[in-house]
Amino acid sequence: MLGEWILALSEWLLTLTQGQEPWDAYARYLPRLMDGVWVTLQLVILSGIAGFLLAIPLALMRIARSPGLWMLAYAYIFFFRGTPLLVQIFLVYYGLSQFESLRNLGWLWTDVLSQPYWCAIIAFTLNTSAYIAELFRGAIQAVPVGELEAAQALGMSRRQQYQSVVLPRAFGIILPAYGNEVILMLKGSALASTITLMDLMGATRGAIARTYLSLEFFLLAGLLYLLMTALLIGAFRLLERVYNAHQHATHLSVKKLDAQLRDEHLEQQVK
Amino acid sequence: MRGSKKFLSAALILASASLLAPNAMADKIRIATEGAYAPFNFIDSSGQPGGFDVDIALALCEKMQAECEIVTQDWDGIIPALRARRYDAIIASMSITEERERVVAFTDPYYSNVLALVAAQGSDLTLDPEALKGKNLGAQRATIAGQYLEDQFGKIANIRLYDTQDNAYLDLAAGRLDGLLSDKLPAYDWMQTEAGANFAFKGEDIDIDDKVAIAVRQQDQALKERFNAAIQAIREDGTYAEINAKYFPFDIY
């Protein structure tokens, strides 16, 4: 076992010391990997937004009193959270194409369902919306009762209450968890390479197929995924600061506040 | 500087080779195949690998009087895993190419291959660059067909590369691909099935002097020589012809 490790390591060292070849390969394939990064970002951002929009009606259905509505949403969420993403991608891409009638749908087939790009976005959207809907359901139920009572006291209709109080509050509550879900989706998006899409993973596998530098290119791909994750974390931090400003207000200088409003306990924390 | 690095690596290899020696004495050869490349290799209804490659592998093992274990491995990881010592040889319809020869050693060939373009029977697709402009063309990833498409038509056509040949057939049948560039023999086999019945070869075969051989690690020269001797032996005693006839009505050597 130890011998095998030493052998593998020394073989790898040997390839690094032999001539310029790996560096040529990096130079040739790095632009393709960067194209892949761009495709990956598109997949994650588009499905992240579409999944979010789809999650709102799903969450509202999920907490509806009518059994027809909540059971439907429950079944949807149960299916998409309970099956592997890879299965869902294959169902959308290879599964749908088995139906003759779908192939006669004109542009819907030629421009959307026959394209691996849109099939990946559809599968990712359906998958992530199930998770986000569950986040939303929890958040809606976590909106403080007092705020709802205040809204009622102002004479808001049920629709107004949801539009101006419940949903915006719920959005603030799910924001950190939503960022988490988008990062999970970023990593899940590597599965798009299985349906011929040249995302970062697809481009990496393509480079390895030509150069056999698997360790090097997988490490490079890992690094690029890390960078994208860092970017997403930063973006969500920013969003949280703006949207949940009340939770981040402690950076304001407490001393400038009216003496009546000063809270010694809070000041202790800030120091 | 470079010399001393090389010396260091060579010393490490020698050291590890001596550590490995007892391992090498146990005469068990682990052979990888893909299992998604009918009729050369596939997983049969009982879950066992079968096909031309597997039959050849078993015949060679019998000649070498070696104990063999057949394992399956996804195609685009098949060479990396050989180098990582997951198994000792690849018998999976692998063509000898310059790029592969830099990282593995090949035995003498055990059959020959040409590439062919497959499209729907009514299609007027040919290998003419004009006719291929903007078309969706498919091939399996990390194959000579895939490389040929990328190198020759990568700029004019839309190239899609699949994890397995079977997935490429699915998309060809679904109409997502206008054409599939494939090794001719497996495509011939697919056209005999119901799914492939409406497809035909288009244009001339592409003969790129493609020889299919067994891949081993570059340092395993002794194993390579044993395979070579066994290939010659099954050619001479008629075992090869017998296996060939099971799959194709013509000689593929």
Could you state, in order of their start, the residue ranges of all structural domains in chain B? 2-112+212-247, 114-209
Question: Where does A42-197 sit in CATH, by number?
Answer: 1.10.3720.10
CA-nearest of B93, B62, B17 to A11 is B17
Q: How far is A19 from chain B (nearest CA, A)?
A: 9
B interface test, pick of A103, A193, A214, A217 with most B CB neighbours within 10 Å: A214
Could you state, in order of their start, the residue ranges of all structural domains in chain A? 42-197
Residues of chain A with Cβ-Cβ distance to B85 below 8 Å are 4, 7-8
Q: What is the mean pLDDT of chain A?
A: 88
User: Do residues A218 and A226 touch, judged by C-beta distance below 8 A?
Assistant: no
Q: How confident is the model at residue A249 (pLDDT cuts 50, 70, 90)?
A: low
Minimal Cβ distance to A196: which of B6, B19, B160: B160
Chain A within 8 Å of B160 (Cβ-Cβ)? yes
Q: Which residue of A has its CA nearest to B20?
A: A3
A143: left (phi over 0), alpha (psi -120 to 50) or beta: beta
- pLDDT in the model for residue B126: 87
Minimal Cβ distance to B12: which of A6, A103, A208: A6
Q: How confident is the model at residue A30 (pLDDT cuts 50, 70, 90)?
A: very high
User: Do residues A168 and A243 touch, judged by C-beta distance below 8 A?
Assistant: no
Residues of chain A with Cβ-Cβ distance to B77 below 8 Å are 214
Assigned CATH topology for domain B2-112+212-247: D-Maltodextrin-Binding Protein; domain 2 (3.40.190)
What pLDDT, in 10s, does the model give residues B13-54? 544 544 444 444 457 999 999 998 989 999 998 999 999 999
- 3-state secondary structure at position A258: coil
Residues of chain B with Cβ-Cβ distance to A208 below 8 Å are 76, 80, 142
- pLDDT in the model for residue B2: 47
What pLDDT, in 10s, does the model give residues B76-125? 899 999 999 999 999 999 999 988 999 999 999 999 999 999 999 999 88
- pLDDT in the model for residue A267: 62
Chain A residues 174-203 with CB within 8 Å of chain B: 194, 196, 202
Minimal Cβ distance to B16: which of A6, A14, A17: A6
Q: Edge-to-edge, what's the strand order for the sheet holding B41-43?
A: B36-37, B41-43, B49-50
Instruction: Give yes or no for residue A251 having a pLDDT over 60.
Output: no
Same fold, B2-112+212-247 and B114-209: yes
Q: Which residue of A has its CA nearest to B15?
A: A3
Chain B within 8 Å of A114 (Cβ-Cβ)? yes
Instruction: Give yes or no for residue B71 having a pLDDT over 70.
Output: yes
Q: What is the mean pLDDT of residues B158-170?
A: 93
- pLDDT in the model for residue B3: 47
Domain B114-209: homologous superfamily in CATH: Periplasmic binding protein-like II (3.40.190.10)
Q: How confident is the model at residue A17 (pLDDT cuts 50, 70, 90)?
A: low
Give the C-alpha separation, B37 to B78, whole Å: 14
Residues of chain A with Cβ-Cβ distance to B102 below 8 Å are 212
What pLDDT, in 10s, does the model give residues A178-205? 999 999 999 999 999 999 999 999 999 9
Give the C-alpha separation, A152 to A146, whole Å: 10
Minimal Cβ distance to A7: which of B13, B103, B161: B13
Listed range (A214-218, A264-268, B26-30) with the worst mean pLDDT: A264-268
Chain A within 8 Å of B161 (Cβ-Cβ)? yes
Q: What is the mean pLDDT of residues B168-179?
A: 93
Give the C-alpha separation, A79 to A69, whole Å: 16
Question: b/e map of B216-231 (b: 16 or more CB within 10 Å)?
Answer: bbeebeebbebbeebb
Neighbours of B243 (CB within 10 A): 18
What pLDDT, in 10s, does the model give residues A126-157? 999 999 999 999 999 999 999 999 999 999 99
What pLDDT, in 10s, does the model give residues A85-109? 999 999 999 998 888 888 888 888 8
CA distances from A163 to A33, A40, A124 (A): 43, 33, 27
Q: How far is B16 from chain A (nearest CA, A)?
A: 5
User: Do residues A136 and A59 touch, judged by C-beta distance below 8 A?
Assistant: yes
Listed range (A184-188, A236-240, B5-9, B67-71) with the worst mean pLDDT: B5-9
Give the C-alpha separation, B95 to B188, whole Å: 18
Cβ–Cβ below 8 Å for B13 and A209? no
Give the C-alpha separation, B199 to B202, whole Å: 9
Q: What is the mean pLDDT of chain B?
A: 88
- pLDDT in the model for residue A64: 92
Q: What is the mean pLDDT of residues B191-219?
A: 92
Chain A residues 15-44 with CB within 8 Å of chain B: 17
Give the C-alpha separation, B29 to B61, whole Å: 8
- pLDDT in the model for residue A41: 97
Q: How far is B144 from chain A (nearest CA, A)?
A: 10
Instruction: Give yes or no for residue A162 having a pLDDT over 60.
Output: yes
- pLDDT in the model for residue B9: 53
